[in-house]
Amino acid sequence: MDATFVLYPNMTALDFVGPFEVLASVPVVSARFVAATLDPVKSDNGLVVTPTDTFDSLKSTDIVVVPGSGHWKALLKDSGGVVEWLREVHATTKWTTSVCTGSTLLAEAGLVSKATTHWAAREDLEVRGVEVSTDRVVFDGKVVSGAGVSAGIDMALRLVEAEFGEMVAQAVQVGIEYDPQPPRAYDSIPPEIAQGLKAAFDSRQA
């Protein structure tokens, strides 16, 4: 089973590295990395990843994982071919997934009706006609979305459970020693901290 991770400039590294570690722990899963070209792609914090495939060469896959970016508004204006490729490849997938603001790309492609995302991007999902959930992981048919950044690990574990069963998912979770404690959600922090965080994220979009 192929799991293909979408790469583009300024993506958030943990958005795809977390799900990659989970999915790659399943022996029957082979990882691929797709981008507009085969040139190395740099994440928003400087991690460089080399693609294995291009949007032109890869036309089908079993699983797609779309990471998000802290610069998602600019990406929605010009995705560099990501949105068009997602529309095309989605017809071939068993699972189409996103992490963080990657769900806004799925929404832009018209592939999702209910999803979660990073708290800072909820409005961008809503204006695209998507029912926005604050859950950490959301299943919408064969589309699975994870909330912000670290939620990609939870999303991938839920996906492994759905595809391979609970025992495999538990084995993977213990193998990577992922023992999450109750997360501190955006909606639960003091308003003054939330406002400061929102302002910081909004400033990135300028």
Annotated catalytic residue within 3, 65, 100, 115: 100
Q: Where are the domains of the chain?
A: 2-181
DSSP class per residue in the chain: -EEEEE--TT--HHHHHHHHHHHHTSTT-EEEEEESSSS-EE-TTS-EE--SEETTT----SEEEE---TTHHHHHH--TTHHHHHHHHGGG-SEEEEETTHHHHHHHTT--SEE---GGGHHHHHTTTPEE--SSEEEETTEEEE-STTHHHHHHHHHHHHHH-HHHHHHHHHHTT--PPPP--GGGS-HHHHHHHHHHHHHHT-
What is the block-wise mean pLDDT of the chain (206 residues), using blocks of 10 residues? 98 97 96 98 97 98 97 94 98 98 98 97 96 97 96 97 94 88 68 79 76
pLDDT at 58: 98
Where does 2-181 sit in CATH, by number?
Answer: 3.40.50.880
Is the entire prediction scored with pTM above 0.85? yes
pLDDT at 194: 77
Question: Which pair of tokens denotes residue 182?
Answer: 């109750």
pLDDT at 206: 64
pLDDT at 198: 80
Under 8 Å between Cβ of 41 and 8: yes
CA–CA separation, 205 and 23 (whole Å): 31
* Residue 100 among the catalytic residues: yes
pLDDT at 184: 62
